[in-house]
């Protein structure tokens, strides 16, 4: 026999149907928030994964460029100006160009072609499943991401395809280079990218600068910006932020995700507050009896709060379990979903705060109960 | 110490205001002694529940004094009253007011919990109270599984478990058949006699007159000896 008597827990478990409805509401909210934020973070990772995996401290782009995927080219000789800036250890050119690849059986597919320096591998694929990064130097070699097979069909090393009416040869399969645009990524050499897309002849899309060890990156960016006055100069993090910001705010994606996440919180709060409120109303006479027997208001408050928190913790645990099942199913489709531990901590906190806030309405009602009510038949 | 554990002196209670006032209790003066059962009887709307609420420190009188164990408690504020109620008064309600999600034993333990009685003592006191009302065998039952008489006995066990010197009972027989009702009154009478409790019963059941020590008659807010 538990003593002190756990009134809150007993009240909750006594009415199982109501308790289950509460848990369903909370866990639904938890799953909605975790999955939506996870999918959003996965998409954000996709927007910036190439930037994050490229060994460069500074990204130089054409003027008024706002993101990685839709960058304009600029003359490649401008790289020489950057190379001469004190603090720049080395520079590399990188091309990102939209192109068309013919697929087996007819038709074509938009692809994002990344042309990088095959000697250094900077800007190239970072996780090879088959082949080697340097193989793109030969036979117009291209490396495709494993996720491309859905759009481009099955591809194997040695296969030939046409890009803008020119034959390319698959020399490698990589992993992790997925774009938010859903277009397949084709890695190739810088020169092959220019050859296949002649309208960017002698032009580059990015100049990547690596700082000398110990250099102040912000200062180096400032020096480069003064010299590269026809281009935009970003630190790596600034370019990641600019790209993510573009996809979040300029496409309406952020609003859509934000709205769904808000709905998750609101739905959870409404269900919890409604069920806790109706439970409080049902037990109002009992709270009045407790007050008549000499209970202070804080004990009543404690009971209602405990009910909210028990519901919150159990609802979160169930939601977490469902979330992991959803993540497993979602990941099996090849889509990225990222859920760092901070997300779980934040959602746990949001859930508990929502439950506590929802219980406040009930607390107010319970505080107002007249102990004389206990004498009414 | 005097035997007078609970008394009211010139107590009046007027509901309402702004020109519309309803006097529920008018100039009531009486004292209740330990070891006795006092019945306050009268028709519905006569002010019985109001005077019981005043005696139970749940309602402040408009005028007059309430004296509990020799101390004037009329002017105590809301924070000082709960500890006093816990220590001095046990309540028995017409509708039993048991906690539906708690077992019989837990319902009794709640009263001890409010008094912050240690677990080692609480279990013994609760069982003793249930023994007194002959409900030990129903200790793990929920209120929904009990008859009306049994529920009222749980309510009595809860009121006596903490050994409060005063027991206030509101229409304790109203929801019971006559035989069970009289058993409950006899139980309260025995408690008063054996354990020197001050028992005040509010009722409109005239059959109780023969089973209590003293009857106060109440009509239109005026109280007088029967």
Tell me: do A174 and A215 sit in the same domain: yes
CA distance A76 to A204: 5
Establish if A2 belongs to a structural domain.
no
Establish if B158 belongs to a structural domain.
yes
Establish if A13 belongs to a structural domain.
yes
ipTM of the prediction: 0.91
Contact check, Cβ <8 Å, B53/A372 = yes
Establish if B22 belongs to a structural domain.
no
- CATH number, domain containing residue B221: 3.40.50.300
Establish if A297 belongs to a structural domain.
yes
Residue of A4, A13, A296 lying closest to B113 (CB–CB): A4
> CA angle at residue A330 from A327 to A332, to 5 degrees?
110
Establish if B109 belongs to a structural domain.
yes
CA distance B88 to chain A (A): 10
- B171 Cβ under 8 Å from any chain A Cβ: yes
Given a cut of 60, whether residue B1 has pLDDT beyond it is no
Ordered per-residue pLDDT tens for chain A, 377 residues:
788 899 999 998 998 898 998 899 889 989 999 999 999 999 999 999 999 999 999 999 999 988 899 999 999 999 999 999 999 999 999 999 999 999 888 889 999 999 999 999 999 999 999 999 999 998 899 999 998 888 898 899 999 999 988 999 999 999 989 888 889 999 999 999 999 999 999 999 999 999 999 999 999 999 999 999 999 999 999 999 999 999 999 988 889 999 988 988 888 788 878 888 888 888 888 888 998 999 988 899 999 899 889 999 999 999 999 999 999 998 877 778 999 999 999 999 998 998 888 888 888 888 887 767 777 76
Residue ending a domain, among A196, A229, A262, is A229
Tell me: do A82 and A173 sit in the same domain: yes
* Domain extent at residue A33: 7-45+252-375
* Chain B residue numbers touching A7 (CB-CB < 8 A): 99, 101-102, 110
Decide if B213 contacts B36 (C-beta within 8 A).
yes
Best mutation target, B110, B112, B159, to test chain A (most A CBs within 10 A)? B110
Tell me: do A76 and A184 sit in the same domain: yes
Contacts of B19 (CB under 8 A, 6+ apart): none
Residue ending a domain, among A229, A244, A275, is A229
Segment (H or E) for A29: helix A16-52
Residue ending a domain, among A194, A229, A264, is A229
From chain A residues 261-290, the ones with a CB under 8 A of any chain B CB are: 285-286, 288-290
* Domain extent at residue B143: 35-60+77-225
Establish if A339 belongs to a structural domain.
yes
Residue of A285, A286, A293 lying closest to B91 (CB–CB): A293
CA distance B177 to A367: 35
Q: How many domains does chain B have?
A: 1
Average pLDDT over residues B38-51: 92
In our burial notation (b when 16+ CB lie closer than 10 A, e otherwise), range A177-216 reads: bbbbbebbbbbbbbebbbbbbeebeebbbbbbbbbeeebe
Given a cut of 90, whether residue B4 has pLDDT beyond it is no
Report, in angstroms and rounded to the nearest whole number, the Rg of chain B calculated over CA atoms: 17
Establish if B147 belongs to a structural domain.
yes
Tell me: do A169 and A268 sit in the same domain: no
- pLDDT, residue A377, reads 65
Establish if A51 belongs to a structural domain.
no
Tell me: do A95 and A138 sit in the same domain: yes
Q: How many domains does chain A have?
A: 2
């Amino acid at each position: 026999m538990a003593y002190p008597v756990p009134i809150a827990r007993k009240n909750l478990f006594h009415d199982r149907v109501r308790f289950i409805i509460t848990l369903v509401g909370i866990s639904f909210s938890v799953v909605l928030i975790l999955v939506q934020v996870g999918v959003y973070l996965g998409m954000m990772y996709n927007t910036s994964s190439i930037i994050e995996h490229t060994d460069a401290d500074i990204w130089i782009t054409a003027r008024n460029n706002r993101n990685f995927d839709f960058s304009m080219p600029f003359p490649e000789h401008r790289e020489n100006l950057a190379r001469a800036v004190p603090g720049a250890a080395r520079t590399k050119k990188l091309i990102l160009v939209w192109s068309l690849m013919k697929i087996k059986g007819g038709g074509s597919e938009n692809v994002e072609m990344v042309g990088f320096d095959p000697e250094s591998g900077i800007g190239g694929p970072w996780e090879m499943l088959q082949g080697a990064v340097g193989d793109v130097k030969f036979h117009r070699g291209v490396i495709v991401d494993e996720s491309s097979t859905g759009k481009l069909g099955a591809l194997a090393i040695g296969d030939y395809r046409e890009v803008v009416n020119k034959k390319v040869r698959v020399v490698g399969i990589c992993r992790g280079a997925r774009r938010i645009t859903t277009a397949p990524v084709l890695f190739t050499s810088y020169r092959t990218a220019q050859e296949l897309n002649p309208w960017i002849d002698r032009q580059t899309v990015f100049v990547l600068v690596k700082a000398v060890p110990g250099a102040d990156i912000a200062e180096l960016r400032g020096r480069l910006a003064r010299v590269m006055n026809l281009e935009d100069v970003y630190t790596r993090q600034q370019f990641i932020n600019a790209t993510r910001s573009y996809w979040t705010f300029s496409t309406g994606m952020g609003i859509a995700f934000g709205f769904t996440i808000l709905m998750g919180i609101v739905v959870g709060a409404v269900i919890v507050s409604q069920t806790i409120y109706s439970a409080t109303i049902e037990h109002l006479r009992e709270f009045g009896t407790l007050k008549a027997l000499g209970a202070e208001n804080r004990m009543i408050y404690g009971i209602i709060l405990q009910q909210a928190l028990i519901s919150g913790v159990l609802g979160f645990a169930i939601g977490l379990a469902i979330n992991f099942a959803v993540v497993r199913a979602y990941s099996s489709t090849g889509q990225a979903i990222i859920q760092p531990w901070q997300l779980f901590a934040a959602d746990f906190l949001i859930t508990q705060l929502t439950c506590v806030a929802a219980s406040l309405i009930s607390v107010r009602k319970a505080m107002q109960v007249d102990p004389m009510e206990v004498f009414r038949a | 110490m005097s035997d007078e554990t609970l008394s009211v002196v010139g107590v009046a209670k007027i509901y309402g205001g702004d020109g519309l006032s309803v006097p529920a209790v008018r100039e009531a003066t009486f004292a209740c002694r330990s070891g006795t059962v006092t019945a306050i009887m009268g028709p519905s709307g006569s002010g019985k529940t109001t005077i019981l609420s005043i005696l139970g420190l749940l309602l402040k009188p408009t005028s007059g004094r309430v004296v509990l164990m020799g101390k004037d408690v009329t002017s105590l504020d809301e924070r000082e009253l709960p500890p006093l109620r816990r220590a001095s008064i046990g309540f028995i309600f017409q509708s039993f007011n048991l906690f539906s999600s708690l077992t019989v034993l837990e319902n009794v333990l709640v009263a001890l919990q409010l008094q912050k009685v240690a677990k080692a003592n609480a279990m013994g006191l609760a069982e003793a109270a249930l023994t007194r009302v002959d409900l030990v065998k129903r200790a793990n039952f929920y209120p929904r599984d009990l008859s009306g008489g049994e529920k009222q006995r749980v309510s009595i066990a809860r009121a006596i478990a903490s050994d409060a010197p005063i027991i206030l009972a509101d229409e304790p027989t109203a929801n019971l058949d006559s035989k069970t009702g009289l058993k409950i009154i006899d139980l309260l009478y025995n408690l008063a006699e054996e354990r020197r409790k001050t028992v005040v019963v509010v009722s409109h059941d005239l059959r109780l007159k023969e089973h209590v020590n003293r009857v106060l008659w109440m009509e239109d807010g005026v109280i007088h000896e029967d």
